[in-house]
Amino acid sequence: MKVKKGDDVVVLAGKDIGRRGTITRVIRANNTVIVDGVNMVKRHTKPRGQVMQGGIIDKEMPIHVSNVALWCRECGATRAGFRFDEAGQKHRTCRKCGGDV
């Protein structure tokens, strides 16, 4: 997977197509990500004890990693490539403009 927590992404498919957000969680077992403010659903919860109230809660659900693309500040939606610098460090780069993602 070439995306990680904290990346800015744009949604390519689904009901939230074209919306941008930040990845808050990566679930590698399912190849899914949770994007802030994207793929919101209504969750009906029962009250649990004295502390937790019941009601309808908006919750972010996972979206498959193939339905999101990295967002580059210069050129928009892009794919990620890799390069090594002189010290041998690995860096992610934009495939369109070559800048760091």
* Alpha-carbon span 41 to 31, nearest angstrom: 20
How many domains would you assign to the chain?
Answer: 1
CATH code, 32: 2.30.30.30
Tokens of 86: 């002189």
Domain membership of residue 21 as a residue range: 8-48+55-94
Residues 42-86 pLDDT 10s: 999 998 888 888 899 999 999 999 999 999 988 899 999 999 999
Residues 3-52 pLDDT 10s: 999 999 999 999 999 999 999 999 999 999 999 999 999 999 998 888 88
pTM, whole model, 2 decimals? 0.82
Q: Is residue 69 part of a domain?
A: yes
Q: Is residue 1 part of a domain?
A: no
Match 């802030």 to its residue by tokens: 36
- Per-position b or e across 67-89, b if 16+ CB within 10 A of its CB: bbbbbbeeeebbebeeeeeeeee
Mean of the per-residue pLDDT values of the chain: 91
Question: pLDDT over 90 for what percent of the chain?
Answer: 66
